[in-house]
């Protein structure tokens, strides 16, 4: 069920995921799907979208990186303090039976993909879980993914402090080359920095495999009314037709990997 009036939920627990990301837990049965998001409202500050990183049917968690006024204010909140939550919103990742998933995560993108990997356990699908970060301290959800028997974890860091020294997409290329014969079964799912996602889309096109990508845009309402997250030049609203789009739709978004818009609508190049 979608909640459009803010649920004023107390923060049940806060856990530190890595040097800069905390997970905020709420004891509420949100009944979300991997790739969906909530709008989190801090009265007097703003509301912002956050992907759901955990949802076990009884409680859910949001893994958040403190970067600006909203997220930094949230980091000042203590257990028991209330915030407003609406949602779950948006188009989720597809969860299919008997497929082989290659999930590709950068930064907090590992949150929704960790949630996806957990859900795939019920579908007899297998997962190559690829995570990239600038340095080993910033890797997310490696331990969680390693606990899942249907998942193989691959790690890449830009500085070589852990795993493959280089981009996470180098690992994806290698996996696709190995799996060339079974590629009909393969599906790529990506969430992370846009240039990483664009590289994943290029690989999906080159190897002709299915692909789901979660594309982030500045969102104000989250429910398809304000038009802030419309993308050129199809005009689809990423809060409702996305944030997860398939390969065909991603290929129609001409601004993908080139530019996005700030809250005033001004174009910002990648
Ligand atoms: C569908 C969707 C899902 C999202 N899921 C998450 C999530 O799971 N976890 C999460 O932490 N954020 C997530 N975000 C981003 C989040 O909504 C906010 O944009 C972010 O927290 C910054 O908000 P702010 O007001 O604190 O800072 P702002 O004032 O908006 O940003 C401050 C500065 O940081 C830059 N910035 C903004 N976001 C990031 C970032 N993530 N990394 C590095 N620099 C950034 C901005 O360009 C700006 O220069 C998601 C966004 C969307 C659209």
Domains and their CATH numbers in the chain: 3-89 (2.40.30.10), 93-214 (3.40.50.80), 217-270 (no CATH)
User: Which pLDDT value is given to residue 178?
Assistant: 87
CA of 70 from ligand 1 middle (Å) equals 9
Q: Considering the entire predicted model, what is its pTM? A: 0.95
Residue nearest to atom 44 of ligand 1 (CA): 67
Of 42, 67, 190, the residue with max ligand 1 atoms within 8 A of its CB, to mutate for a pocket test, comes to 67
pLDDT of residue 181: 59
99 CA from centroid of ligand 1 (Å): 32
Nearest CA residue ID for atom 39, ligand 1: 67
Q: Do the Cβ atoms of 190 and 197 come closer than 8 Å?
A: yes
Query: How many angstroms separate the alpha carbon of residue 68 from the centre of ligand 1?
Result: 7
Cα(236) to centroid(ligand 1), Å: 21
pLDDT in tens, the chain (270 residues): 899 999 999 999 999 998 889 999 999 999 999 999 999 999 999 999 999 999 999 999 999 999 999 999 999 999 999 999 999 999 999 999 999 999 999 988 999 999 999 999 999 999 999 999 999 999 999 999 999 999 999 999 999 999 999 999 999 999 999 876 566 799 999 999 999 999 999 999 999 999 999 999 999 999 999 999 999 999 999 999 999 999 999 999 999 999 999 999 999 999
Ligand 1 environment, Cβ below 6 A: 37, 48-51, 63-65, 67-71, 108, 111, 216-217, 219, 243
Rounded to whole angstroms, how far apart are CA atoms 267 and 237? 16
- Name the residue with the closest Cα to ligand 1, atom 18: 48
Instruction: Work out which ligand 1 atom sits closest to the CA atom of 90.
Output: 1
Max CA distance (Å), the chain:
55
Residue nearest atom 10 in ligand 1 by C-alpha distance: 64
User: Residue with the nearest Cα to atom 33 of ligand 1?
Assistant: 68
Nearest CA to ligand 1 atom 45: 67
* pLDDT confidence of residue 15: 96
């Amino acid at each position: 069920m979608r909640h459009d009036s803010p649920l004023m939920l107390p923060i049940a627990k806060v856990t530190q995921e890595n040097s800069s990301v905390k997970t905020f837990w709420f004891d509420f049965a949100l009944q979300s799907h991997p790739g969906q998001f909530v709008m989190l409202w801090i009265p007097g500050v703003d509301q912002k979208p956050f992907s759901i990183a955990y949802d076990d049917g009884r409680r859910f968690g949001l893994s958040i990186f403190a970067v600006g006024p909203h997220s930094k204010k949230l980091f000042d909140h203590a257990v028991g303090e209330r915030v407003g939550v609406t949602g779950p919103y948006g188009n989720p990742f597809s969860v299919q039976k008997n497929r082989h998933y290659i999930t590709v995560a950068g930064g907090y993108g590992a949150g929704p993909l960790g949630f996806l990997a957990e859900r795939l356990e019920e579908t007899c699908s297998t997962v190559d879980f690829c995570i990239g970060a600038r340095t080993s301290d910033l890797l997310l959800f490696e331990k969680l993914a390693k606990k899942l028997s249907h998942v193989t974890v691959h790690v890449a860091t830009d500085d070589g402090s852990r795993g493959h020294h280089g981009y996470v997409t180098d690992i994806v290329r290698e996996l696709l080359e190995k799996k060339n014969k079974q590629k009909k079964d393969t599906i790529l799912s990506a969430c992370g920095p846009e240039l990483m996602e664009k590289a994943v889309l290029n690989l999906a096109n080159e190897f002709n495999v299915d692909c789901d990508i979660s594309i982030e845009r500045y969102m104000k309402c989250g429910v398809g009314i304000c038009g802030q997250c419309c993308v050129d030049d199809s005009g689809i609203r990423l809060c409702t037709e996305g944030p997860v789009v398939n390969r065909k739709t991603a290929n129609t978004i001409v601004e993908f990997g080139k530019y996005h818009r700030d809250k005033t609508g001004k174009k910002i190049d990648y």
